Amino acid sequence: MSRKYFGTDGVRGRVGDNPITPDFVMRLGFAAGKVLASDTSGLAAGENPVVLIGKDTRISGYMLEAALQAGLCAAGVDVRLVGPMPTPAVAYLTRALRLQAGVVISASHNPFEDNGIKFFSATGAKLPDATELAIEALVDEPMETMPSRGLGRVKRIEDAAARYIEFCKSTFPFDRDLRGLRIVLDCAHGATYHVAPHVLHELGAEVIPIGNHPDGFNINRDCGATHTTAMNTAVRRHRADFGIALDGDGDRLMMADADGTIFDGDQLVYAIARHRSEGGSLKGGVVGTLMTNLGMEHALGRLNIPFARAKVGDRYVLELLQQKGWQLGGETSGHVLCLDKHTTGDGIISALQVLHALRDSGTSLGEYTADLKLYPQVLLNVRVAKGFDLEHAAVRQACDDAESALGKDGRIVLRASGTEPLIRVMVESTCPDQSRLQAEHIAQAVRQAAP
């Protein structure tokens, strides 16, 4: 079945435009309550299922939180509120508190005008496609509110941040610390602003926080994992050892060395994989995506580490990891999954795994990842109408022409964004000029074919 509302990371869009409206979100909450709480096998007689709601720091979060909890309560579901909290924190708390589901109100790395809703199961994992389709099937049906005796109640969890801080710290070896390190931490004015600095500080680091004053409108604005110039500048200005940049909901990560050099998700996954391989703790191999740099695949091969590609989206990385029984994977964009530490991607925990590797090796990020030579990639975004046909004859011909020109030394990925009305054109080869030329050729074909 095709999806009507859900993308690769929940339901997302511009606030005020369908589907990110109070009316829709209330109906979504009702539908999700019916589906996610349908299994009452672990509940006592008369006990309501419980769903946890967290959000990032967008101004629209207040409105959507109220609508979501109204829909859930109407479906006979109790609600637990934690306020601004990173997406991976909601996944952890849902599992730790033995709740039936978790919901995050966030548009991740998008600007404040956007927002979204994403769900976690009782195990702290993102919902499978079948469950999201089941929710979609109920969203447009009439709401049949439970009788008053069956309505849900709402309570706030006051110690949620402290619980999550301790969980993050527990993923770093007890016999290691971060003493002597000066770290710039960019929280993107997002959901990690009140937790990430405490994690690093309590592990011994001198923390220089930036992007930690959210006002409802500045989330991801010229900061965080999608705008690393702020981290780069602060690292050099404060003579820091490392920089860590998170995105608005805390599941994405970029890092910097002392000279301000930026390291993306591929390089960070490589550092973790190398460290675990050298220590004998790497289980299986590494999962990347169609966008993972070819240089990463080759570098892992030189370490005899198996590599596999999933569709773009951390949910698909997770699915392939589970299928293979592996534990480590990620995306170039900075989603890193360490399934021996958490059930989902977590920017704070992933940063700690990289810092563990660097503490053990006594090297910089640049030194530790020197064997990874990234091939030049050109990524172009072309705005199109929803439902654009990627199999359009002119577009396919442009791709075929580009593949012939690149030969075995290049790679093309053409895909629709799961969160925005964009076609993403990626061309990778050993020659930057050739990559740019062929990417522009394909992008122009898409523009001309777009209605």
Is there a catalytic annotation at residue 148? no
Six token digits for residue 295: 């240089």
For 390-443, what is the HEC assignment? CCCHHHHHHHHHHHHHHHHHEEEEEEECCCCCEEEEEEEECCHHHHHHHHHHHH
Residues 152, 79: contact at Cβ < 8 Å? yes
Letter for the amino acid at 444?
A: Q
Using alpha carbons, list the distances in angstroms from residue 176 to 171, 180, 277: 11, 12, 19
Nearest-angstrom CA–CA distance, 235 and 150? 54
Virtual torsion, Cα 312, 191, 123, 140, nearest 10 deg? -70
- Choose the catalytic residue: 108, 333, 350, 435: 108
Q: Using DSSP, state whether 31 is helix, strand or coil.
A: helix
Six token digits for residue 382: 């072309």
Residue 387: φ, ψ to 5°? 90, 15
Pairing of strands 377-383, 422-429: antiparallel
Kindly state the helix (H) or strand (E) to which residue 51 belongs, with its residue range: strand 50-55
Determine the straight-line distance between the first and last CA of the chain, rounded to whole angstroms.
25
Long-range contacts of 41-48 (CB under 8 A, 24+ apart): 42/98, 48/76, 48/77, 48/78, 48/150, 48/152, 48/153
The sign of the dihedral angle between the CA atoms of 200, 206, 210, 214 is positive
Nearest-angstrom CA–CA distance, 245 and 256? 8
Nearest-angstrom CA–CA distance, 378 and 217? 30
Task: Please compute, for residue 441, the number of CA atoms within 13 A of its CA located in the half-sphere on the CB side.
Answer: 19
Nearest-angstrom CA–CA distance, 250 and 378? 26
Kindly state the helix (H) or strand (E) to which residue 155 belongs, with its residue range: strand 154-156
- Residue (of 415, 126, 127, 388) closest to 290 by Cα position: 415
Q: Which residues are identified as catalytic?
A: 108
